[in-house]
A and B are shown apart, each in its own frame.
Chain A
């Protein structure tokens, strides 16, 4: 930001929020990456690590909220400062959810261990995860840089993740139809895919929040549709 507050401790309080959000972002990224790696390699130890890390994000979110509330009460923030604080609260909530989704994926590693995941399915999941992680990483970069154009780009790119998720969904259905014994592991994988797709949505939320923080208005235009699988299998009209 271009200028500083006359009361310098106010700046410190806002910086605290920014720093904690960045830390949360780093942890969330790590957890998501680890959870997918644990899934495709059926690495139970790594999955356990992810599960145990969730509490870090829960704690961080709570601390950010507490600091935000105290800052609002003490400083009566206005305009961009107020948006900064509200934005921090919202982004912290999104990142906490990203952590939950990583943890949920990790939990399913334990459930699917023993059943082998077909190679191309694993690749599909990895690809989905790569895209979601890239969205997450880029949106965290935008949080640091406040590059509005970038924020808009990220928001528009969510389409790609949705498309891959939809194709994975169809593919999983074919495995289940082929052999009913696939139903249990494939259902878990389906949830994992959904988890990863939801991470993309949270990255989109964060991009919109950053846009709002910087401009005071919501980004224009319809947000890309999130989930096309609601109509998969439905009779085409």
Chain B
């Protein structure tokens, strides 16, 4: 097969990637204030989707609709539909706790519980009843820390406090915690904004590895980070989704002028 034909096949495969989550006409209101306008956005399986755009454009708001984190905000209202494997996650029959186990979240500031490293990771599996025995739980903790690339650094001090770790380690601990309940989708809201470049690179490397087993949606204010870690990129502006595209296309030749201006650091 020629190189071009191989490329074409890969492209076709990319388009054939199943949709893990589908957002249809999603609007979000905070009281009277509308924060999102009829957003239609697909999240593909085993793909890293990056959400970019200027501050306040609604990236975090959209991200939070994907596991109903907005439910916890007073006066916040979501319209439209969002499905996970085809099922409406806002349906009254949905158990929100179970949903959040399937769609986990990592926040901007590393926020380990004021407990041991072990307990930070074991907490989720324990409350969701995912481990039958102590040995089981030990295994889940080890595997999660392995997946988060933290095991070697903490295996000798599992019972020390999680808050004693460096910022980058804390963030990977939070990722281990998210991974521990075997989610299908992991949402990350600016997970590197409090980290130095080395810690950031570690997390980015981790995102790359996690993609094999999970579907990832990441909000980032760094366009370079979006370009580095994602396969699909969605650009938000003033509550609207202005463009969703393959990341390679997005950062070399975007279709929308607003995307162009934003990623090139220009003003119109």
Question: Hey, which bits of chain A sit against chain B, CB under 8 A?
Answer: 2-7, 10, 75-83, 215-217
- Please determine whether B267 and A78 come into contact, CB atoms closer than 8 angstroms: no
Looking at the assembled complex, report how far the CB atom of A213 sits from the nearest CB atom of chain B, in whole angstroms: 11
- Please determine whether A78 and B264 come into contact, CB atoms closer than 8 angstroms: yes
Looking at the assembled complex, report how far the CB atom of A210 sits from the nearest CB atom of chain B, in whole angstroms: 15
Looking at the assembled complex, report how far the CB atom of A137 sits from the nearest CB atom of chain B, in whole angstroms: 29
Cβ of A216: which chain B residues have Cβ within 8 Å of it?
Answer: 252-253
Using CB atoms, name the residue of chain A closest to B263: A78
Cβ of B268: which chain A residues have Cβ within 8 Å of it?
Answer: 2-3
Using CB atoms, name the residue of chain A closest to B259: A79
- Please determine whether A77 and B264 come into contact, CB atoms closer than 8 angstroms: yes
Using CB atoms, name the residue of chain A closest to B223: A78
Decide yes or no whether B266 CB sits under 8 A from chain A.
yes
- Please determine whether B253 and A217 come into contact, CB atoms closer than 8 angstroms: yes
Q: Name the contact of B267 in the complex, choosing from A4, A76, A77 (C-beta under 8 A).
A: A4
Decide yes or no whether B86 CB sits under 8 A from chain A.
no
Question: Hey, which bits of chain B sit against chain A, CB under 8 A?
Answer: 223-224, 227, 251-254, 260-261, 263-268
Using CB atoms, name the residue of chain A closest to B260: A79
- Please determine whether B267 and A79 come into contact, CB atoms closer than 8 angstroms: no
Using CB atoms, name the residue of chain A closest to B268: A3
Q: Name the contact of B265 in the complex, choosing from A10, A215, A217 (C-beta under 8 A).
A: A10
Give Cα A75–Cα B265 distance, bound, in whole angstroms.
10
Looking at the assembled complex, report how far the CB atom of B94 sits from the nearest CB atom of chain A, in whole angstroms: 39
Give Cα A163–Cα B267 distance, bound, in whole angstroms.
48
Cβ of B260: which chain A residues have Cβ within 8 Å of it?
Answer: 79-80
Give Cα A79–Cα B224 distance, bound, in whole angstroms.
12
- Please determine whether A79 and B264 come into contact, CB atoms closer than 8 angstroms: yes
Cβ of B265: which chain A residues have Cβ within 8 Å of it?
Answer: 5-7, 10, 75, 78
- For B227, B251, B260, B266, which residue has the most chain A Cβ atoms within 10 angstroms? B266
Cβ of B253: which chain A residues have Cβ within 8 Å of it?
Answer: 79-80, 83, 215-217
- Please determine whether B261 and A3 come into contact, CB atoms closer than 8 angstroms: yes
Cβ of B264: which chain A residues have Cβ within 8 Å of it?
Answer: 5, 77-81
- Please determine whether A5 and B266 come into contact, CB atoms closer than 8 angstroms: yes
Known: A4-B267, A7-B265. 14 other contacts (CB 8 A): A2-B268, A3-B261, A3-B266, A3-B267, A5-B264, A78-B223, A78-B227, A79-B252, A81-B264, A82-B252, A83-B252, A83-B253, A215-B253, A216-B253
- For B227, B261, B264, B268, which residue has the most chain A Cβ atoms within 10 angstroms? B264
